[in-house]
Amino acid sequence: MAIDDVFRAMSDPTRRGILRLLREEGSLTAGEIAERFDLAKSTMSGHFAVLKQAGLIVAERQGTRLVYGLSLSVFEETVDAVLALLGSRTRASKPRAQERRR
């Protein structure tokens, strides 16, 4: 997983919607996901490809259907990375706030 790929994938509201849907409802077929969005199937396929490349979803072929599910380990790593970024920023800004009080 490259964190840049994850952030790129999560920057789009449709892809965030797909992730939210999979988190709330569990694994779904490509068709079940696509019917919840007012987009062409080719556009949805592009979104699935970006999410798969980032490792945020996994696809499993079941006969003629593709079933997508959330990759929880990548989600956890992403949350850790975001918290680390925020934690570093928060720690860096605290001394400045203390300096202003002096």
| pLDDT tens column, 82-102 | 788 788 554 444 444 444 444
pLDDT > 70: what percent of the chain?
Answer: 84
pTM: 0.75
Instruction: For strands 65-70 and 57-62, give the pairing.
Output: antiparallel
- Domains observed in the chain: 3-101 (1.10.10.10)
Let me know: does 51 contact 8? Beta carbons within 8 Å: no
Let me know: does 36 contact 21? Beta carbons within 8 Å: yes
